[in-house]
A and B are shown apart, each in its own frame.
Chain A
Amino acid sequence: MTSERDIERVLDHWFAERPTQVADRVLDEVADRIGREPRRPAWLPWRVTHMLGNIKPLAAVAAVIVIAVVGFALLRPSSGSGVGTSPTTSPTASPTPSPKPTDTPRPAGMVVQQKPISFTVTLPQNWVNNGWFAAPSQGTEAPTGIAIGAPGAINVPSDPCDGVGKEPSAKSPADVVAALRSRTDLVVSNVIDTTLDGHTGKRVDIQAPADLSACTDLYVIMAEPGGAGFYVQGPSQKIRMWIVDVDGHPTVFQINSFAATPADDVAAAERIVASIAITP
Chain B
Amino acid sequence: MDHDLVAAAIGGDQAAFMDLVRPRSNRLFAIALQILRDVDRAEDALQDALVIAWRDLPGLRDPERIDAWLRRLLINVCIKAAARERRRAGNLRVLPIDGPAAPDDMLSIADRDQLERGFRRLPPDMRAILVLHHFLGYSAKEIAETLGIPRGTARSRLFNAHRAMRAALEADARLTVVGGRSA
Contacts and interface: CB of A to CB of B under 8 A. Distances in A.
Q: Do A and B originate from a single complex?
A: yes
Interface of A: 1-3, 7-8, 10-23, 26-27, 29-31, 33-35, 37-42, 44-47, 49-50, 74-80, 107-111, 226-227
B3 A20 contact: no
A222 B50 CA distance: 25
A26 B42 CA distance: 10
Given A3-B170, A40-B59, A109-B7, 17 more contacts: A1-B172, A11-B115, A15-B131, A16-B104, A30-B50, A34-B18, A34-B54, A37-B51, A40-B55, A45-B59, A45-B60, A47-B62, A76-B12, A80-B14, A107-B7, A107-B10, A109-B9
A75 B7 CA distance: 11
Given A15-B134, A37-B54, A1 B29 contact: no
Interface residues of B, number: 64
B176 to A, nearest CB: 10
Interface of B: 3-14, 16-18, 21-22, 25-26, 28-30, 33-34, 43, 46-47, 50-51, 54-64, 97, 99-102, 104, 106-107, 111-112, 114-115, 130-131, 133-135, 162, 165-166, 169-170, 172-173
A13 B107 contact: yes
Nearest to A226: B12
Contacts of B99: 18-20
Contact of B29 (A22, A77, A111): A22
A35 B43 CA distance: 19
